[in-house]
Amino acid sequence: MIIEKHEDPYFKSCSSHSHIRKNWLGSIVFPFSALLQQSEFSDLTDVLERAQIFKKTCKAMFPNRRITTTVFNSEGIQILVTRYIKALNPPQQFLDMFLHDSSATLDLIARFVSLIPIVPDILDENDGFDIWMTSERCISLAIGNKEEHAILLCNFFLYFGKKALVLLGTSMLEGQVAYVLTQETNEYLLWNPLTGQCHKQFDPFCPLQSVDCLFDDGNVWFNIQQNNTPMAVHFDYLKESFWKQLLPKNFQGTKPHTIQVTGFPIQMPYTDVESIIDAVYQTGIHSSEFPQTEFALAVYIHPYPNNILSVWVYLASLARYQ
């Protein structure tokens, strides 16, 4: 849409007038799936800044301990690590094998995750340029790094209602590692997603050497206890004297936004471009009540004999709000 303003030089003392004229300037097609994904996974700038400050503060306290608050997803968008944690149902055949033995099912799922080939990390996590795949992508490609293995196993456990978190630390055998911490009735269990093995917290044969950081779908906790060996650590991460948390209690900034998607096609015979533009305007899809609404547009023209054309215009809008 172009707004043209005309002034008559012979009537300078009079007020000018303006009129609106709609000109077709061309078309552009947006990948709407990318818009939806960006709206679901992008985090507020102030939250990301808070995460960076939190990481620097933790590193100043314990320089040798691991702390990861944000990474980049496959779309190149920087997000909180909490975004990767959500319940995911395992393959149905595993659920059918041990219907009445949840412990055996968990062991089998841990074994399954350990069989997924691992790719080494080529970037230093301290540089802040880690790229993680989602659990769905990890399963689809049948490959993943250490953290992606742990996230996948954690998400499978959440499906069964387990209290599970991803643990970042170091191992005597593997160097930097990512484990899964589950809380049972009277004890904590440490799961190695690369071997499928499960160790109790006070197991002297557990290769985990340090417990540095925890995260779930709502927060990140940094271990500020002087002794960070598994046997000495208090895993009650809600106690501020033991764990430093990234986000304050009841913080809503990382909760998923509500996504309202509206879309429909328009089919009409082709007469001229102006008729198509008018048909789009008459839908009122551009009159959104929500700020920062995103739009997608696609056009398909099907030819028939004797220069008869059928025009399909696909319109969609995406409104995001909390």
Written as one string, the DSSP assignment of 124-177 is: -GGGT--B---HHHHHHHT-B-HHHHHHHHHHHHHHTT--EEEEEEEETTTEEE
79 and 191: one domain?
yes
Query: What count of residues does the chain have?
Result: 322
Last residue of a domain, one of 245, 274, 308: 245
236 and 265: one domain?
no
Range of the domain at 306: 26-30+257-321
Q: CA nearest 207: which of 220, 191, 187, 225?
A: 191
117 and 162: one domain?
yes
163 and 130: one domain?
yes
Instruction: Look up the pTM and report it.
Output: 0.67
Specify if 251 maps to a domain. no
The number of beta carbons lying within 10 Å of the beta carbon of residue 85 is 20
Q: What is the CATH number of the domain that holds 58?
A: 3.10.620
Last residue of a domain, one of 245, 269, 290: 245
Q: Are 114 and 195 within 8 A, CB to CB?
A: yes
How many structural domains compose the chain? 2
283 and 136: one domain?
no
Specify if 159 maps to a domain. yes
| 322 residues of the chain, pLDDT tens digit each | 444 444 545 545 555 554 444 444 444 444 545 544 444 445 567 889 999 999 999 999 999 999 999 999 988 889 999 999 999 998 888 877 766 777 888 999 999 999 999 998 766 666 667 899 999 999 999 999 999 999 999 999 999 899 999 999 999 889 999 999 999 888 999 999 999 999 999 999 999 999 999 999 999 999 999 999 999 999 999 999 999 999 987 766 555 556 677 888 999 999 999 999 999 988 888 887 776 788 889 999 999 999 999 999 998 888 766 5
Last residue of a domain, one of 217, 245, 273: 245
227 and 261: one domain?
no
Specify if 54 maps to a domain. yes
280 and 203: one domain?
no
Q: Are 157 and 169 within 8 A, CB to CB?
A: no
Specify if 158 maps to a domain. yes
